[in-house]
Copies of this chain bind each other. A is one copy, B any other.
Amino acid sequence: MKKMNMVIAQSGGPSMVINESLVGAVLEAKKSARIGKILGARHGILGILGGDYIDLRKVTEKKLLKIAETPSSALGSCRKKPTADDCKAIFEAFRKLDVGYFFYIGGNDSADAARIVAEEAEQADYPLVVYHIPKTIDNDLRSCDHTPGFGSAARFVASAIKGDDLDNRALGGVKIDIIMGRDAGFLTASSALARVREDDGPHLIYLPEVPFSEEKFVKDVKAAMKKFGRCVCAVSEGIRGKDGVPIGAKLGSGETDSHGNVQMSGTGALGDALAKVLKEKAEVKRVRADTFGYLQRSFPGVASKVDQAEAMAAGRAAVKAALAGELKKGTIAIVREEGRKYRVAFAPVPIRNAAKYTRSVPKEYIARNGHDVTAAFLEYARPIVGPLPECETF
C-alpha cells in the first residue's frame, strides 16, 4: 500500500484535553509505516487554505506529551464552515502535498465541516480518508456516551461551585453562577457533583432543556432562602423561555459565527439580568452573579484524569480506524460498556452521527421539579469527572 501523508487540525472552542487527542493521533500515526508526513494545520481549515503547517514529526515526544497536558488548541482553532470553493482549494492543496488522511478534532460543527470536506472529496474523486475526533465541553454529540473535554470542564464547574457554595455559606444571600452550554445542560447539571452534605449548593439548577420561567425562578429562590437561609443557583447560559429563544442571546450582542451560532459566552449580561430580577421580585438584599466564562474550558491544572486518558485514546482510535480503511468518512464513538465497573470502548461510526445536530440532557437525568438533576445523572457523570478537591466544614 502506498505511503500517504496526513493532515490534522483543531476546530471550534478549545478544551482542556483537545491537545490530548491531537497528540494521541500523532503518536499513533508515528507507529504506522503507511503514513508519511504528519502535518498540523494551524487554525483548522484556515491553515490548510493558507498553507500554514507544523511538521509534527519534528516535535519531540517529550514536548508532545507536555502539549497534551496543556489546555486550549495548540494548533490554533477556527469556526469556519467550508464552502464548495473552499473544498476545491483544499483538495488542490492536498494533491500537491500527497495528503490521503485528514483528521479534524472538534464538536458537532467541526464534524459537519469534516463531513462536507469528505463528501466533496468523494464528488471530486479525490481519494481522502476523513476522520472527525470528538471534542466538546458541552457533551452534546449524538455519537458519544460523553465527549472528551466534558469531564474536565465539568470538574472545573463542580470545583468552582463547591468553593462558591462555601463562599455563599460565609456571607449569605443569593449567588447565581452562569455556566457554559449553548444547547445542552450537561455542564450545568454537573454542578450537582459539588454536593456532599444535605444543605450544600447548588440549591437550584436550570438547564436549557427545561423552559425557563421568571415566575418559577423567583418562587424557587424564595423557597430555597426559606429552607437554607441562602441560595446558590447554577444556571446554563442557554436557558430559554417557552418561545425557545435563549434569554442570554436576546441580551447579548447578536454576533453570530458562520455556523449561525449566536454569541453567548464572554459576557456577563445574563447573570446581571437574573440578579436584577431577584433583587426586584424575590426581596433578597444580597444577590451576586458570576459568569464562569472561558475559564471552564481553559483553566490549567484541573483536568479530569479519565477525560485526559480518553481524549488521547480517541485520537489514537481515529488513526487506527483510518488505517483499517473499512470506513472512509468516520468519527469515533465513545461507548460506555455495561457492568458495574466504568469502562468505555472507542468505535468508528459514520461521520454523520456526530455532525450538525446536538444531543440534549435526557429526561431521566432531569428532576421532576424542573430545577435539579436525578441520581441517575450523578451516576452517569461521576466517573467521567473524577474526584473533586475535598472540603471540610464545622
A interface residues (Cβ-Cβ under 8 A, vs B): 10, 13-14, 40, 43, 54, 59, 63, 66-67, 69-79, 159-160, 162-164, 166-167, 169-171, 175, 253, 265-269, 271-272, 275, 279, 287-295, 297-302, 388-394
Contacts and interface: CB of A to CB of B under 8 A. Distances in A.
Nearest to A303: B389
A122 to B, nearest CB: 30
A297 B167 contact: yes
A393 B74 contact: yes
A17 B295 CA distance: 22
Contacts of A299: 159-160, 163
Q: How many copies does the complex hold?
A: 2
B266 A390 contact: no
B298 A164 contact: yes
A10 B170 contact: yes
A290 B268 CA distance: 7
B63 A162 contact: no
Contacts of A287: 266
B290 A164 contact: no
A275 B279 contact: no
A388 B70 CA distance: 12
A291 B43 CA distance: 27
Nearest to A42: B394
A394 B55 CA distance: 10
B171 A77 contact: yes
18 contacts: A10-B170, A13-B171, A14-B171, A59-B394, A72-B163, A74-B392, A78-B171, A163-B295, A164-B294, A167-B297, A167-B298, A253-B279, A267-B268, A268-B271, A268-B289, A290-B294, A291-B293, A301-B389
B14 A166 contact: yes
A72 B290 contact: no
